[in-house]
Amino acid sequence: MNDEDSSQSVSEVQSGILESRALFIDTSEYERLSYAFGVGTLAILSTHNRVTLLLPEVVESEIRDHFKKAAQESVRLHKTFSDQARVLRNLDDPKLGLVFTKFVADEVTKALTIAFEKFTDMMTTIKLPVSTVDPKVVFDRYVATLPPFNSGKKKHEFPDAFALESIRNWAVAEGRKVYVASQDNGMKEYCDEVPELVYVQSVDQFLDLAIREDQETASKLRTVIDANQDSIESFIEADFPSLGFFVDDREGDVNEVSVNEIEIHAMSIVKLDAGVATVELDLTIKFVADVSYDDIEHGIYDSDTKSLWTQQETGEWEREYYGSAVIYVSLDDADPTKLTIKSFQINDGEDIALSFDDGWPYK
């Protein structure tokens, strides 16, 4: 990769153009973040939409090995502190007692491992076996002293070389670029040579790009949604009668439903995933239902059979639904000023109950 190509990849990151949602996090970056999988940057990443985490087998093994070393070192430092700060034990403050709680390295390792596995389970994680890498490719880079083998510690870079090659192979096969978050200069130099990989200094930088892109997309979508409210109302008007309805306080059937009026009180984008926005609506739908039902008010009680004989009546019930609904929309491919409405859901997907007596939420 020439200097022009290298500067181009850097400028793309700086300009805020997110080229992919695929991300590899190097062990050095996990270490910088103190393996804090349940809080802060990594916690935000694990709940962010559409991020694919690539986890090479060699890096996963390295991370798990680092857990043991980090646990042992933390326990050692904690013991040193406890020994040197023993004067605090004599203070009448129960909170200080927690400072001197003894830790066992194996328990700390287990806690880190559980947190890591939960983190990867929450995300779309793709594990990359070492077997996907041709060892000759790595060895040739080693002999030629190419990145990541140009740091002066060539033998120590073999795990990184296998990890990077497995990521590159995946990127080529999928036709996608991959962001590489690392504190290692050798990885940066490798990314500068490989067009499929984009180097970022930290997970925070990648997240900033992803969040910024989502906010811009959501803002554009919101403008189009507001401009196409009539289309949304028309879609609901056409779809609403096909939903499930039933008579809930007597035997009966809902034969047909027609919408008289729709009033949308509020709309908000609650989720954005792969260009599809989940929009929550507060709305009122006034409709008429053609219903057949048992007229129990005028029924005749048979004392012999101890049953109520009723006559089937039909009628048009004017009702009103007030509550929330969800629509799934995206920008129209042919005309970005228009919406494509994927689907519509109301009443949490449950059938809508119609009462003979006009009570809340129908009247």
Q: Among the listed ranges 146-160, 179-193, 201-215, 264-278, which one has the minimum average pLDDT value?
A: 146-160
- Alpha-carbon span 30 to 66, nearest angstrom: 10
Confidence of residue 167 (pLDDT cuts 50, 70, 90): very high
pLDDT over 90, % of the chain? 42
What tokens were used for 139?
């060895």
Higher pLDDT among residues 31 and 269, named by residue: 31
Q: Which domains does the chain have, with CATH numbers?
A: 3-212 (3.40.50.1010), 228-354 (no CATH)
Tell me the backbone φ, ψ of residue 10, rounded to 5 degrees.
-65, -45
Which of the residue ranges 42-51, 96-105, 346-355 would you say has the lowest mean pLDDT? 96-105
Picking from 52-56, 83-87, 120-124, 196-200, which range would have the lowest pLDDT averaged per residue? 83-87
| For residue 5, pLDDT beyond 60 | no
Q: How many residues does the chain have?
A: 363
In this predicted structure, what is the pLDDT of residue 151?
63
What percentage of the chain has pLDDT greater than the value 70?
Answer: 83
Over 60: is that where the pLDDT of 57 sits? yes
CA distance 155 to 186: 13
Dihedral of CA atoms 216, 21, 201, 121 in degrees, nearest 10, equals: 120
d(CA 155, CA 82): 39
pLDDT score, position 203: 94
Cα-flanking dihedrals φ and ψ of residue 110, to 5°?
A: -65, -40
Rounded distance between C-alpha atoms, residue 26 and residue 163, angstroms: 9
Top mean pLDDT of 149-153, 243-247, 310-314 is at 243-247
Instruction: Provide the pLDDT for residue 19.
Output: 84
Whether residue 41 contacts residue 32, with contact meaning beta carbons closer than 8 Å, is answered with: no
91 vs 28, higher pLDDT = 28
Q: What's at 326, amino acid-wise? A: V
Tell me what pLDDT residue 347 has.
Answer: 85
Q: What is the pLDDT of residues 10-31, one digit of tens each?
A: 434 444 567 889 999 999 999 9
Q: Are strands 300-302 and 307-309 parallel, antiparallel or unpaired?
A: antiparallel
pTM (2 decimals)?
Answer: 0.65
Q: 280 pairs with which residues across the strands?
A: 268, 326
pLDDT in tens, 282-316: 999 999 999 887 765 555 555 566 555 556 778 88
